[in-house]
Structures are given as C-alpha cells and as structure tokens.
Chains A and B, each alone.
Chain A
C-alpha cells in the first residue's frame, strides 16, 4: 500500500460512518426522485383516461354545438375560445399594468419608496383566487361593467372573469419583469445618462431593449397562469354544466378549467352519461400540454437574460 492510499483510507473515516453517510444520502435522493415520480403519475393518469375518451368519442365529435359533457356534446372549441378570451382579457390588464409597475419600481422609485410599495403589490399575489372570483362577481361585474355596458348585462360574464384573472396576474408580470430590468447592468444606464439621455429615453431605449427576453418571459408565464386559473372563472363566468359555443365576452361562458370544476361539483361525484368523467381528463391533458409548452418557452427566454449578464 502506498502512502497515498493510506492517507485516503484514513481520511475516509471508519466504515460504519461511511455507510451511515451513504444511507442518508440515499434518503435525500429518494425525496428528490419523488418529484419525478409525481410528474410520471400526472402524465400517466391524464393519458390513461384521456385515451379512453378519445378512442370512444373520436375527433369528429369534438366539434359540436357546445360543451355539455353530461349530455354527450363535447365541443372542445367552446372551451378553447372561452379560455383564450379570458386569458386575452387578463393579459390586456396585467401586461401594461404589470410593466408599468415594474418599470416604476426598477427605474424611478427611490429605494425607500420601493421597500414600501413592492410588498404592497406582492400582497395582491397572496390573495386566494376564490376571493378574486367573488370580487369579480359581486363588484367588477355589477358595479364597474354594468354602468358601461348597460343594465341588461348578464351578471355572470367572461369579461368580468377575465378582468379578475388579470388582476391576479399583475404581480406575476411585475415581479418577473422587474427582476429582468434590475439585471441590466448599471453601466448601461450610466453610459446613457452620460450621453445626455433623460430617464425616460434611458428606460425605453436602453434598459427595456436590454431586458426584452425577461419581459417576454413574464408575459408568457402570466399567459400560462391565466390559462390555468380556475376559480375566478368558475365563480364569475357562470355556465355550470355546459355552454353553447360563444365568442361573446359579455355573456356567460366556460373555460377549460371552469369546465373541469363544474363537472366535478353538482353532486358528490363526477357523474354523467357516456364519457363525462373521461372528458375531464381529456381537457386536463390539453391544458397540461399547453401550459407545459408555454413554461418551457418562458424558461428559454429567462435563460437568455441570465446568460447575457
């Protein structure tokens, strides 16, 4: 045995100590691996029932007069259009407001102002979505939208739901955008000021273009979140049980998530003729794949910001 080996054995400690360390390491690895198991369980359970649905119902039946799963009408377009309407309205609210908040906090606010205002915006992120659903139904719809669109506006409507979801996603846009704005090196701003640029032109022409990947990422994440948001729509958009195909944001309607929620309630269990239960998993799978693609896309953009600075 060489001296080197002897030193190595001496440093490694006695055998029981080493095997204990290995066991502990294995336990922690198990915990980390459990997260992969969860993903597999999600994919398997979604695909299993969704396959039963699609192989029995067939694609032609996915275009019909509306979404009434308990009666055998499975028009997926109704849900997709409803989802895009709500998410689109939400982005019209959260996009500009979230960007404005982020630019103000990152470029304009004094450190002390920022310390007070930022937590206030983050408070909004902590509000449970059922609460915003209630707010959309009892405040936004009757007291904000009715005066604008007239008294005959349906109390349950997609517009109020979209606004509610938008409020929910403001903090998300604001925080991801602000992070990417603050990641832009100070030297770029100083160079811009040195050339005589004002704060506004520095923000618009220097900082925002430098952070554009992060800003795009924040929009994608917010959109993905808006698509997956359930309770605001389930409460404020009406249409339990089903909905006719509609593109009118002023009427009631259903999104993919709200359709799942309303299928699951009404009784103690998911009941219905034919494949109502399986349709739940089919929509779930479509939703899961949509958000997965969006999240992967967003991560690409975020990584680009990180690589650059």
Chain B
C-alpha cells in the first residue's frame, strides 16, 4: 500500500501543477495581444489592397510607361508624373551625395577616433536630437538658408526654389539617420580586429580602411540605403523649399540649369493630387502611390542584396 502511494505521487504532483482549470483570463489576454498584432497587419493589408484596387482603372487605359513618361497636367485624361518622377530620382542622387560621405565620415570619427570627452558627448547628444526633429523643421531650415540666403547660387532664376535646395535639405534631413546606423554598424565590429591591426603596426586609418570598414560594410549599406528610402517618401520639407505640382517645363536646358530650375517630386504630387475633387485624380493618385511603393521596394531590395553580397565576401 505504501509503495503504490509513493509511485502514484509524481502523477499527483504533475496533475496539480498542470492545472485542471482552464486559465480563461490568460487565454483571453493572449487573444487580445494577438488581436492587436493582427489589427496592425490587417491595416497594412487593407491599405495595400485599397490603393491597388483604386489604381486599377489607370492601368487599364494608361499603362505604367505612359503614366511615367507623360508630363504633369491639370487635365486628368492627359496627366502624367514625368517631372515628379525624374525630380525624385535626381533628389535621391543629391541626398546620397551629401548624406553618405558626411554621415559615414562623422560616424567614423565618433566611433573610431573620438575619446569620451565633453565635445564628443555634445556631438552625440546633438545627433540624437537632430534625429528627432520633425521633417518640416528641416524644410524651414532649407527655406531660410538654401532658398533665401543662398538663392543666388542654388537657383538664380527661380528665387532659390530649385532642385539643389531640395536635395540639400533632404540630405541634411537624413544625415542623422545615416550617422546613427553607420555608428551602429561600426560598433558591431569586434575590437579584437582593431587591436590585431594596430598590433602589427597599422595606423588608425589603415586599420579603418582595410579592416573595420570592410567588415562593417553590410551594415553601413543597409542603413544608408534605408535612409534613402526615408528621403524618397518625404513631402513636407520639399513643400517648404518650393516643390511644385503644376505643369512646368525645363525645355532643353543644360544639366546645371535643370538643377537650378523648378522641380517636383512624387510625394509632393501625391499631396496635391489627393486633395483634388475629381474621381479621376483619386485613381491617378493611387497609381502614383503604387509606383512610389514599387520604387521603395526596389530601394529596400537593393539594401538586402548588397548586405547579403558583402556579408558573403567577408566570411568566406
């Protein structure tokens, strides 16, 4: 009798621990949490489906190439996005040309050279604060400096409201993001790599150039390219520095004249078209958004491709 009671004990303990009562509140809590996740993803799916559905009529009678290559117009039947399309592309090149070298350079200084001094701490705190400044405030900066103060250089014939002003503004806007993501990538490089290089007589720059940067490259690429995606979707600062949404022509202007001339960009055009009352423009806006999302997808795919490629190069 004693022996059977002892052998039954583990089962009894197990039964007591595994709880016969259903934990109703616990399951409910779990359902609520899962629900909020599904709502968030559901909104994303609804947004995508709704916008694609609204854009369908445009694809039926226009086609992608026609829409992109046609110029902006107030007549929905003839309106295209050409100026906004190439405006956005040139703006991206400008943004990259400013934010990448400056941002990566700043991150290299802060991570590889700077000691923990007061100056360093001020610069770091400053960059974190810049990252939190609303994008429209960068627009005000661009308006005051590039449009008003330097208008004679950035766009003499358009009062400074040029593609150069827009590009500089966007470059400054994403600079803090480039610095922060690059600094993270540099921090992830093990310090033994640096110690090894310094130990065999490399200078700090040789260490960075030949050892730290190649290892950090995948992270740097991802961060910088994703910041480009952020700049691509920004409309608010461009509205302030003069991105326009009506027809304009650059004619056969040279390269410099185009850069100093008036400009539009895809998100700015979305803003302007979305508010127009005609139903045709609602559909056109949806089509324009679909093109924007495809470009964003391409930007992100490039980031992932470069990361995978460079990661392989280092480990093999």
Question: Which A residues have a C-beta under 8 Å from some C-beta of B?
Answer: 13, 17, 20-21, 24-25, 27-36, 38-39, 41-42, 45-46, 48-49, 96-97, 99-101, 103-105, 108, 117, 120-121, 123-124, 126-135, 137-139, 167, 170-171, 174, 196, 198-200, 203-204, 221, 224, 227-231, 234-235, 240, 257, 260-261, 264-265, 268-270, 280-281, 284, 287-288, 291-292, 294-296, 299
Contact = CB atoms under 8 A, between A and B. Distances in A.
Contacts of B127: 35
Nearest to A35: B127
Interface stretch (B31-39, B56-64, B74-82, B188-196): B31-39
A42 B134 CA distance: 12
A121 B40 CA distance: 7
B136 A257 contact: yes
B255 interface: no
In the complex, the 10 A-B pairs of residues with the closest C-beta atoms, listed nearest first? A228-B134, A100-B36, A128-B233, A31-B105, A45-B144, A28-B109, A230-B236, A104-B33, A295-B132, A32-B106
A39 B40 contact: no
Main secondary structure of the interface of A (DSSP, over half): helix
Nearest to B270: A130
Contact of A36 (B29, B123, B145): B123
Question: For chain B, which range describes its interface: under 10, 10 to 19, 20 to 34, or 35 or more residues?
Answer: 35 or more
B274 A133 contact: yes
Contacts of A36: 122-123, 126
Q: Secondary structure of the B side of the interface?
A: helix
Contacts of A46: 137, 140, 144
Interface stretch (B4-12, B42-50, B211-219, B306-314): B42-50
A287 B194 CA distance: 43
B167 interface: no
Contact of B296 (A35, A120, A126, A296): A126
Interface in B255-302: 267, 270-272, 274-275, 282, 285-286, 289, 292-293, 296, 300
Contacts of A126: 229, 296, 300
B67 interface: no
A28 B300 CA distance: 28
A31 B282 contact: no
A27 B30 CA distance: 54
B153 interface: no
A219 to B, nearest CB: 14
A100 B42 CA distance: 14
A289 B168 CA distance: 23
B106 A28 contact: yes
Contacts of B245: 265
Nearest to A42: B141
B233 A35 contact: no
B125 to A, nearest CB: 8
Interface of B: 17, 23, 25-26, 29-30, 32-37, 39-41, 43-44, 46-47, 50-51, 54, 101-103, 105-106, 108-110, 112-114, 122-123, 126-130, 132-141, 143-145, 159, 161, 172, 175-176, 179, 201, 203-205, 229, 232-236, 239-240, 242, 244-245, 267, 270-272, 274-275, 282, 285-286, 289, 292-293, 296, 300
A41 B239 contact: no
B242 A269 contact: yes
B50 to A, nearest CB: 5
B174 to A, nearest CB: 12
Contacts of A261: 136, 236, 239-240, 271
B137 A103 contact: no
A17 B37 CA distance: 57
A291 B134 contact: yes
B141 A130 contact: no
Given A129-B235, A268-B242, A39 B130 contact: yes
B272 to A, nearest CB: 8
A137 B136 contact: no
Nearest to A103: B33
A170 B40 contact: yes
B268 to A, nearest CB: 8
B36 A131 contact: no
B161 A135 contact: no
